[in-house]
Amino acid sequence: MFADSVKIFIKSGKGGDGHVSFRRELYVAAGGPNGGDGGKGGDIIFEVADGLNTLSEFRHNTKYIAESGQEGGQNNCHGKDGEDLIIKVPEGTVIKEAETGLVIADMSLDNKREVILKGGRGGKGNAHYATATMQVPKYAQPGQEAKELYVRLELKCIADVGLVGYPNVGKSTFLSRVTNAKPKIANYHFTTLQPNLGVVDMPGGKGFVIADIPGIIEGASEGVGLGLEFLRHIERTKVLIHFVDAASVEGRDPIDDIKKINAELENYGAGVKNKPQVIAANKVDAIYDLSESKIEEIKNEFEPQGIKVFPVSGVSGQGIKELLFYVSDLLDNLKDESQVFEREYFDDISVPDNASLPYTVEKVEDGLYSVEGPRIERMLGYTNLESEKGFIFFQNFMKDNGILDELEALGIEEGDTVKVYGHEFDYYKE
């Protein structure tokens, strides 16, 4: 099944926690701290894979989680880093934040590999926190939390020329004649259910890529049928060849068809309506008398607007050479600027290293409890406990960080003493 828009869940790996341990050897009475650092969590990486041309595999697997880092060990052993998770996508895949639709990355042209979510940093072991005044730190830094995100993947074909028009007007037949593409061809509507790409070889080593965009119908820009799924593939093209059934084999008015499709292109937006356009009046092999055909009417209607009309036949090859040379010249005169979707979403993708510093809460003896650690030291560094405001801030800090809850869990009672480095406080419930 062809798929060009899917929603998936991605999550990087959590950083491994730092370890708390102390050197324990025979004849060593007071070994120092030797807890190792935790390993880094795995990244979520998107990578372009040659040969992929759909997002169908994401229909069945919608959750992608990288490996977490391992906890550090004793004897300063570093925890193993979590493995990165590489997600393979076709070239031309645009990664968007699912809720806002903002672009995170465009996997096209030179952008073949991009880290979308970075894994959490590993926490530092207690060996890092030994100081002259604190030689036996009983705390280690926790690993940084994993980051997660719902993203939408949208595949937008990368081609120089897009073939547009109603179903069954001969686009697939034309593509099979002028390129190496082998699309399925049959005489019924919506034969083409996915964009087909082919390369046109021109004299002098020049050439260009054509995409056969599946049939677009009236109302496509409003989501009728599969319109929106197909229209997005036109965004990257530089020139549009508008195919129309000039023989009116099915009784349709080719001029009305062109106007309706152009109205859908304009309604869709994204600059599609401003792309240079050429009309291929197809199926001339089915017209008995060209002088009585619709071709002159088509020319009179659209050539004054600067849209060149070519009578062609995908079956016999009539007029195709002239059409291809005209399109090639159009491409040569256009600026060599391929459309790339710039990044719009930055929030929480490259996460700064702002994980909370560690601390410990422990019962020293009956009636005496200790709170210590880098987070506590940093707080005391900018808090004046002698002032009323400073003391209120300190109380709120202890409450907001869950320290009071931990003291309660250890069995602290009213009147017991809490020691915070050089400060001692009597504990009373609110």
DSSP string, 280-343: EEE-GGG-S-GGGSSHHHHHHHHGGGT--EEE--TTT-TTHHHHHHHHHHHHHHS------PPP
| pTM given for the model | 0.60
Which are the contacts of 28, defined by CB distance < 8 A and separation ≥ 6? none
Contact predicate 175/183, CB 8 Å: yes
Mean pLDDT of 100-117: 88
Quick one: pLDDT at residue 384?
Answer: 67
Quick one: pLDDT at residue 356?
Answer: 58
Give the span between the Cα atoms of 311 and 283, in whole angstroms: 8
Quick one: pLDDT at residue 339?
Answer: 67
Quick one: pLDDT at residue 41?
Answer: 95
Residue 242: count of CB within 10 angstroms of its CB: 25
pLDDT: which is higher, 339 or 215: 339
Give the span between the Cα atoms of 163 and 210, in whole angstroms: 7
Sort 260 into a burial class: Cβ within 10 Å, 0-12 / 13-18 / 19+.
middle
Give the span between the Cα atoms of 324 and 329, in whole angstroms: 9
Residue 193: count of CB within 10 angstroms of its CB: 13
pLDDT tens profile 3-60:
567 899 999 999 999 898 887 766 655 668 888 999 999 999 999 988 777 787 888 8
pLDDT tens profile 147-186:
899 999 988 767 788 888 887 788 878 888 887 655 444 4
Give the span between the Cα atoms of 134 and 393, in whole angstroms: 25
Mean pLDDT of 220-249: 69
State the virtual CA torsion across 168, 313, 228, 56 in degrees, nearest 10: 80
Which are the contacts of 191, defined by CB distance < 8 A and separation ≥ 6? 167, 168, 172, 184, 185
pLDDT tens profile 341-360:
777 776 544 433 434 578 88
pLDDT band at 278 (very low <50, low <70, confident <90, very high): very high
Our measurement of the distance from residue 224's CA atom to the centroid of its chain's CA atoms, rounded to an integer in Å, reads 26
Give the span between the Cα atoms of 425 and 69, in whole angstroms: 39
Task: State the distance between the two ends of the chain, measured CA to CA, in whole angstroms.
Answer: 63
221, pLDDT greater than 50: no
Q: In what order do the strands lie in the sheet containing 103-107? A: 63-65, 5-11, 148-155, 93-97, 103-107
